[in-house]
Structure 1
């Protein structure tokens, strides 16, 4: 045993002696000019080593470098392309005897890199790329047989601070800055836990992204698996285009990265983005078409919180540069990966609309996105849907199924589009399909059909019974009392077809204790207008809706016209047509009493024919 100790001690002493001799006899500073000249000959640029190249002897053997700069080519605004303030590397000597390279310390500080593209497209890397030799080395290739490499590599503490990369593209008129504030690693030893931290700042135009990462990892001895014990990422995005000026993000989790696949498997993911919080898991597999699987559950999503602001652009300015309504979106990205995932939200707030219990399963494979099922609860009822988007062709096609059940119509329409058209318990079914996803194609080329039923509600903005009572009062030379502009009904139903931008409804039916309405009409989707004709019949003598008795109007059928934009509908009675029946005879009897002129007033009052 003593002999072995003596042998090892002797070898170490001899190695130490060699190191001392090298550091005393060999001074790397003597070769700085030769190094600079070699770089000048190879690249045509200046390499300046302003500081000393120094040896480190204790506790490890190493080398230090300071104040190094590398120039830009002629014609660039910045004289320096890259600079380095200091670099220190230390290698433990004793592990080398066992074939292990142990870099005990690496420290790099204050590196600046300027990447510039001139207006003509020339950049300060072009000459380095073209000057690199592509010829094969004339040196004899090392033979793998008979040569023994290192049995292992270990890295000790790594400290990298103040690394700045400036990207100045004068051809595009853009500037970006990426600044690595620090990267620290306590050790990099296969099979052992390593703790790391990173702080990074990215500036692009008027937006800043500040990122901080804390991680604890273990890399397998075979270097093919990375175990993430802990991973935490915090980011702050700030800028005038960000809602409220800034947005905070936090993501944490753990999992495994298999470099042989490669695959990524993350578990216990926790996400905080602004006020949005969620959790779940994520899997990724690299293959011919990358595959992603994910399941994430969130609490409350306020979409307005993540909607970019307009950068101060007025509506008038926005109209000057409108998007092309015939432009088809680029769906090529849908063919670049496969995806299968589940997303859920307890609540979603968007443009004044509130929905709850949102659940979505989406599958993307070979360019076909199938969202099925889609479910959400809203305004006392629920909505279920399926949507399929096919991006296999140059112009995408789609089909969808949509159903509303027991939804309160008035608050839904009010919050969604500020429309107060109809109230009641709404049930709605629709199937739609089409080819082309431009704004105009979606409106004009969609085709489908559906049906609707509103129960126990009212038409808002019009009181059909009151309009007829007003006709009766005017015939008597009286003034009808004012009533609420609302037509109550027990049911409002119909079916429709959609083609060429027009939804056609041939069988509109409204039923109430006082009257019946049968009609037909259409909605122009492109213009957002309605055009309906209907026949209204008084079927009961009840006062109904707070009005006077209508006994002498019972059985009267009155043509009704509804037309105009959705947010400003006009209602009118075709009084001339109504007078062709029994009520016309009543009017004739009153002719001698001077009421003939009153019929003309009725036509004007009720919006009848000219």
Structure 2
């Protein structure tokens, strides 16, 4: 037994010596040419081993190639599609005895992979039939004839069996000549496990894209079909700190580029950071912080679409179909969506709310005029975002909440083409009535332009004005139409360039805080030497309204009318928006009827017009004595009848009483106290 063990040990020593000596005895370098020619024959691409080769038998049969290059197709932007710092190949020895190649492990160190799609849509990873120039030649040193029964050249992949493939410290770039899109990932560490190219392959790893790490976990059912311009079922999960994507479907590798079809689930917890990371540009503050998408994905190099999708942005949810076309000058978004109730109060500054703190000090630039000075901002208006994308969207909104007001369901159509936006809103329920309109914005021209067409029908005015204008002195059913347009590089310029026309009518309502009929009666009573009454401060009316035009920021109205029991009121004048001033004339008159409409019976007292002038912030009210004199000259008989009706009263004191009854004793500026009619008029402006 002792001699047997000694003999066995001697055999082992000899075997070890042989295994150790073989790598030094076999002339590995002479196989370079054969390997290069064989790869070129099977792929149609040049393959070069520019560094040393090494062979070892322990612990496994292993081959090492250094500085390896695999060429791209002729005319490629990057001549070398793949370049490796080192290739390590470990083979299973026993299958080699049977003539099979089974890779136990393949390691690609420091690979540089350049993926490209040319102007005709041909990917550089689609292998063509080899040409005569790169097919193995009989004269090629080290070259060997193709095995019997196998063609000397072919475009297919060999029948290889894999154990594990590792890609360490890689760099992968992608360029599409059709769109000039370019991307690059670095620090790629990936492990592939696949029995062979016809069985499912698992891919796991991590990479860095624009300085952020991303992990990948993927399963491909048919690797060979996917590599050879085909398709395969794919289950993938991509996870990063800004994005999580899950996909279960099919991946295509066609002549026109990659494509996908299947179920997609995407979650983005920080949209601004994600947009900056994906595009390289910071979009600034966004209205929502997070978003998610789930639905059926159909994607190609020219279009991405989601069908039967569920979308969430902030607290807004939507369902429907949407797609993005990528082949034009700009991406174009098209779709039909049903959108849940949108609470705009979450995104708009609330009236009276605390100001949000700034994240950083404001840059040194001219500040817009303060609101309390009546100035308009001169900060440039930036509509450039409208030039980055086109859109054709149809939205069915379940409702909108703004300033606590629940606006009803509405259909909205959005069209955006080359920086020109048109948004049309169908009839939308609002406080017992409807509102509809259209907004236009033009960012294609050198100077931005805006337009508004608005229609209001049957809306209760008081709750709308109270909520949106903090004005609670007017009630009634409102009807209004307006068509406005403007151009300008700033808010101030747009106000100065505002033009258009419209009309506003309120029916069956009231003006709270002032009794216009009592004001006229008080003036008449004072003229006649009678005591002034103390009536409730409210003016009921059957109709109040008029038409208006806007020219270069000046609103003009010459047909204001108020029809109320015992009272008619007319007015005309202008409101100049750029300086925020008013120049208006109001003329009330009493009538001998309690009918609000349809009666023009005689005046029951003297009519004294009122001038409203000055700033909108602090207007002044005064009787129009010049206008009163003009009316007297036109109809002196009427004045004579009124004077004769004084019945012995002191005429001088009576005339003074008319003015005091109307203005509260002041003829140029508002008085003080609730009994002052001028102050009551002023209160209509919320002052």
| Deviation (angstroms), 1:605 | 0.8
- The equivalent residue for 1:281 is 321
Taking the aligned partners of 1:530 and 1:102, their CA distance within structure 2 comes to: 88
Q: How does 1:202-217 map to 2 (within 5 A)?
A: 210-217=242-249
Alpha-carbon distance between aligned partners in 2 of 1:519 and 1:409, rounded to the nearest angstrom? 21
Q: Would you say 1:62 and 2:105 are equivalent positions?
A: yes
Change (3 A) 1:603 1:339: closer
**Coordinate RMSD, CA, aligned:** 4.8
Gaps of 5+ in 2: 1-53, 68-84, 93-101, 111-154, 172-183, 185-195, 274-283, 369-375, 633-638, 670-687
Q: Which residue of structure 2 lines up, in the alignment, with residue 303 of structure 1? A: 344
Cα gap change, 1:513 to 1:102, in 2 (>3 Å): farther
In structure 1, the gaps of 5 or more residues are 1-17, 33-48, 69-95, 113-124, 126-150, 168-176, 202-209, 545-550
Number of the residue aligned with 1:139: none
Q: Does 1:559 align with 2:580?
A: no
Q: Structure 1 residue 301: deviation in Å? A: 0.9
The corresponding residue for 1:517 is: 569
Q: Quick one: structure 1 residues 321 and 372, their matched pair in 2 at CA, closer, same or farther if it must change by over 3 Å? A: same
Give the alignment partner of residue 365 of structure 1, picking from 393, 417, 425. Answer: 417
Contact 2:55/2:61, CA 8 A, preserved across alignment:
no
Could you list the per-position Cα deviations for residues 279-334 of structure 1 after superposition, in whole angstroms to 9, with x for gaps in the alignment? 111123333434331222211111232358965149x9899863594455455554
Kept in 2, the 8 Å contact 1:574–1:609? The answer is: no
Q: Could you say which residue in structure 2 is the equivalent of 1:88?
A: none
Shift in Å, 1:192: 3.2
More strand by share: 1
Shift of 1:187: 2.4
* Further displaced range: 404-413 or 587-596: 587-596
Secondary structure of the structure 1 residue equivalent to 2:578:
coil
Q: Output the CA distance in 2 between the equivalents of 1:107 and 1:587.
A: 111
Shift of 1:394: 1.8
CA displacement, residues 157-185 of structure 1 (integer Å, 9 cap, x when unaligned): 12124x566x7xxxxxxxxx6232x2211
| Distance in 2 separating the partners of 1:320 and 1:267 | 47
Change (3 A) 1:238 1:458: same
* Deviation of 1:556 (Å): 2.8
Aligned partners of 1:384 and 1:402 also within 8 Å = yes
Q: Which segment drifts farther, 289-298 or 531-540?
A: 289-298
Question: How far apart, in 2, do the equivalents of 1:462 and 1:570 lie?
Answer: 16
| Distance (Å, rounded) in 2 between the aligned partners of 1:607 and 1:247 | 57
What secondary structure sits across from 1:186 in the alignment? strand
Q: Distance in 2 between matches of 1:294 and 1:186?
A: 31
Point out the more displaced range, 349-358 or 416-425: 349-358
1:466 is paired with a residue whose SS is helix
2:238 is matched with: 198
Q: Please tell me whether the aligned partners of residues 353 and 416 of structure 1 are also in contact (alpha carbons under 8 angstroms).
A: no
Structure-2 residue corresponding to 1:99: 158
For residues 11-410 of structure 1, the aligned pairs below 5 Å read: 21=57, 60-63=103-106, 99=158, 105=164, 156-161=201-206, 163=207, 178-180=212-214, 182-187=215-220, 189=222, 190=226, 191-201=231-241, 210-220=242-252, 222=254, 224=257, 226-237=259-270, 247-259=289-301, 262-289=302-329, 290-307=331-348, 311-313=356-358, 322=367, 325-326=377-378, 329-331=381-383, 334-335=386-387, 337-372=389-424, 374-410=426-462
Secondary structure of residue in 2 paired with 1:343: strand
For 2:546 and 2:659, locate their aligned partners in 1 and report how far apart those are by CA, in whole Å: 35
Distance 1:199 1:28 in 2: 34
Which moves more between the two structures, 364-373 or 433-442?
364-373
1:431 and 2:464 are equivalent in the alignment: no
1: CA distance between counterparts of 2:579 and 2:405? Answer: 24
Aligned pairs, number: 483
- Residues 235 and 102 of structure 1: is their aligned pair in 2 closer, same or farther, counting only changes over 3 Å? farther
Output one character per residue of 1:72-108: Cα deviation in whole Å (capped at 9) or x when no partner.
xxxxxxxxxxxxxxxxxxxxxxxx9962567665567
Whether the 8 Å contact between 1:104 and 1:156 is mirrored in structure 2 is no
Greater C-alpha radius of gyration: 2
Q: Deviations over 1:481-514 (max 9, x none)?
A: 2513x32111112111101211100111111121
Which residue of the other structure, out of 443, 464, 468, is the alignment partner of 1:416?
Answer: 468
